[in-house]
Structure 1
């Protein structure tokens, strides 16, 4: 049975799951949810995710939401195919993957998400971006990236010398961030820049990037 992923290719959280599915060589159907028509608030969708957010994954009898939970499920269920994103054969390496996936969700994401929303999200709604919010979160992001620069000076990827979910989870928001005027926060840190160049050269992520066209008229 082919997996069904309900979402939008331009969506950061959908892109996170799509990237994982491509890395694992898993066939899936992307079912478009029209957010502008409030398709995510329709009863049929709310039955899948009561919070009315994308993406949602349907795999037979199981329905999942929350993009990071979905990627973990996919990486574990299909651990024998594609890229080993969870390092299932090494307890120590798997533990480090979990640490750095937590770092992404608890440290990196809270800093970068408001920047992307202000720059890309507000104009779509006819609102003016709040530069004070952007500046405050850029300061937070710079501090996180300083930690990354130090870590990536000793390992090729965040959890070690192997690509994992920890790296993949950073892709969608960073991809859009690099389209803003503040991409130097990445490019001015040589080890972070090398890491970013490396992961964005991966065929799976190149494929995902093709659908991430949100804000191209900015």
Structure 2
């Protein structure tokens, strides 16, 4: 078994995949893609790895797949018997997992990634100063979403129920960047969200990945 990840340690999507690999206890090789040099847009990379010119890409014994959430689901399905079970098999629990995964993609990621782009990535990419009006709008919307999170998490330990799943893991990269850019109140100001956030950020898999540069 040879697993290779093509990506960047600074990439949120790459960190999502690396965290999953650690949760599953899988060994892997890492092939860095230098985003600052535009290696992800190289014609060979576009043809052979990722036609949209983004990262990460995972190659597993010759099988190739891209899109970070798809990669994470693939790893869980193929290596179900390894490490942490990250997607339940019971039909009801699976339904609640899919619900939680949809919550993350619809109610967290668009707002968190938008704030992080304005406050972190925009400057990193030399695209100017943050659009403060846009940040304020995104924060208002995300605050409303996190109020609902707090209600959900008052009844259960994790977003999909009582066990940690990919739905929780998917929050880690952008959530951590929110905290790093001074927006930790999304988590700290809500008791149930705070307890959940502390649980998921203290996992050894995330500790192993979060500070990689």
**What residue number does 2:98 align with?**
98
Query: Could you list the runs of 5+ residues in structure 1 that have no partner in the other structure?
Result: 214-218
Q: 8 Å contact 2:120–2:181 — kept in the other structure?
A: no
Q: Does 1:51 pair with 2:49? A: no
* Structure-1 residue corresponding to 2:82: 81
Task: From the two aligned structures, give the one with the greater helix fraction.
Answer: 2
- C-alpha displacement of 1:117: 0.4
Question: Superposed, which structure 2 residues align to 1:29-178 within 5 Å?
Answer: 29-46=29-46, 47-88=48-89, 90-126=90-126, 127-178=128-179
Runs of 4+ in 1 over 6 A off after TM superposition: none
Q: CA deviation at 1:60?
A: 2.1
Cα deviation, residue 39, structure 1: 0.3
Task: Count residues with an aligned counterpart.
Answer: 211
Deviation, 1:10, is: 1.4
- The offset of 1:43, in angstroms, is 2.0
What value does the CA root-mean-square deviation take over the aligned residues?
Answer: 1.0
Q: Secondary structure at the match of 2:65?
A: strand
Q: Secondary structure at the match of 1:157?
A: coil
Q: What is the match of residue 206 of structure 2? A: 205
Helix, strand or coil at the partner of 1:36: helix
Deviation at 1:99, TM superposition (A): 1.1
Q: State the shift of 1:197 in Å.
A: 0.4
**Uncovered stretches (5+) of structure 2, i.e. residues with no partner:** none
Offset at residue 210 of structure 1 (A)? 2.3
